[in-house]
Amino acid sequence: MGETTLTGRVVSAHGRHYRVAIQPSGETRHCYPRGKRTGIAVGDNVQILPEGQQEGLITEILPRRNLFYRSDAQRSKLFAANIDQLLLVLAAEPVFSDDLLGRALVAAHSADISVVILLNKADLPGTAAARARLAVPESLGTPVLSLSALDYAQVHAQLDALLKNQCTLLLGQSGMGKSTLLNALVPEAQAATQAHSEALGTGRHTTTQTRLHPLPGGGDIIDSPGFQAFGLQHLTPHEIAHGFPEFAPAIEQCRFYNCTHQHEPECGVLAAMASGQISANRHALYMRILAENQAAKRY
Ligand code: GDP
């Protein structure tokens, strides 16, 4: 005798507790996974067995379109599943990290998720210099928008069409203005964040959990906590290379089909770097990610 299951979408995750919006009503239930199951992400479509009026047991994760995550030697940190695009929020102040930006781009490219870079705090004088630091991703086809999240009219003028009917993951280091931006886009979000941090007793309004918010104009935006590290230990060497789209034409020139683009003779990538077509900084990032993954495998 099977009980009736419901289908829903995970809209927030906190430890092993999940809030699931049941389809089609949209009412949310507090759910937890069956057994020791982990690895459920915001954005996942799941089946649940209802328990009472407000709770449920997650019995199954339905097939995913994609999963965006980072991982270090200890564990994986899931950002979100089934996303259409990534909105990477940067600003001139605090200074953003080229390394973290590069890693987020590699993670997105390797999962075939499109990225838009949002250079926030356009009102600050350092913005032109910050924009110049985005020349490489911009030349590789990643759109760069620039605005001030404090100016709500500007936010709507530049982002409404981009976000409409899409599921967008907001990602950025702390302090770049993600919360400010979210409040401009989803007026109820501030209340939700505030209530949550009060419940946790932190008294701070920083995002501590990943949460999906429906956008008033259609579509969803997923807010995630700011991060300070971005390990990519789940990627194979091939996937890492695929995460650097500018390497693709050069890789075709490599003599060896299994070239790792580190030291091999007649390597197309090393040749392209020598001639200035591939930036030495980007190749150094590629080497760092590869070295971390190799070191992790030795333990
Ligand atoms: P989060 O950590 O990414 O969520 O960043 P917050 O939204 O909390 O913003 C960090 C600080 O930057 C706050 O003091 C905001 O008021 C400020 N801020 C956010 N957007 C802008 C902007 O467009 N211009 C300026 N000048 N400050 C901003």
245 Cβ below 6 A of ligand 1: no
How many Å lie between the centroid of ligand 1 and the Cα of residue 21? Answer: 30
Please state, in angstroms and rounded to a whole number, the distance separating the CA atoms of residues 28 and 231: 33
Of residues 139 and 206, the one with the higher pLDDT is: 139
User: With 80 as the cut, is the pLDDT of residue 203 above it?
Assistant: no
Ligand 1 centre distance from Cα of residue 148 (Å): 9
Mean pLDDT, range 81-90, rounded to an integer: 97
Say how many Å lie between the CA of residue 38 and the centre of ligand 1. 33
6-61 shares its CATH topology with 67-223: no
The mean pLDDT of 35-63, rounded to a whole number, is 93
| Alpha carbon of 1 to ligand 1 centroid (Å) | 54
Q: Whose CA is nearest to atom 17 of ligand 1?
A: 177
Over residues 129-138, mean pLDDT: 94
Across the chain, mean pLDDT equals 90
Superfamily of chain region 237-297: Probable gtpase engc; domain 3 (1.10.40.50)
**Contact 123 CB / ligand 1 (< 6 Å):** yes
- pLDDT, tens digit, for every residue of 147-165? 999 999 999 999 999 999 9
The answer, yes or no, to whether any atom of ligand 1 lies below 6 A from the CB of 184, is: no
Residue 194 has pLDDT above 60, yes or no: no
Structure token pair of residue 280: 């030495």
Q: Ligand 1 mean position to 103 CA, how many Å?
A: 23
The residues spanned by each domain of the chain are: 6-61, 67-223, 237-297
CATH topology of domain 67-223: Rossmann fold (3.40.50)
The pLDDT assigned to 195 comes to 56
Q: Averaging pLDDT over each range in 11-15, 68-72, 95-99, which range is the top one? A: 95-99
Ligand 1 pocket member 176 (CB < 6 A): yes
Minimal-distance CA residue to ligand 1 atom 24: 121
CATH 2.40.50.140 applies to domain 6-61: yes
Q: What is the pLDDT of residue 197?
A: 54
pLDDT in tens, 204-249: 555 568 899 999 999 999 998 888 889 999 899 999 999 999 999 9
Query: In this predicted structure, what is the pLDDT of residue 200?
Result: 54
Q: What percentage of the chain exceeds 70 in pLDDT?
A: 92
Q: Which has the higher per-residue pLDDT, 111 or 267? A: 267
Nearest CA owner, ligand 1 atom 28:
121
Q: CA-to-CA distance for 293 and 297, rounded, in angstroms?
A: 6
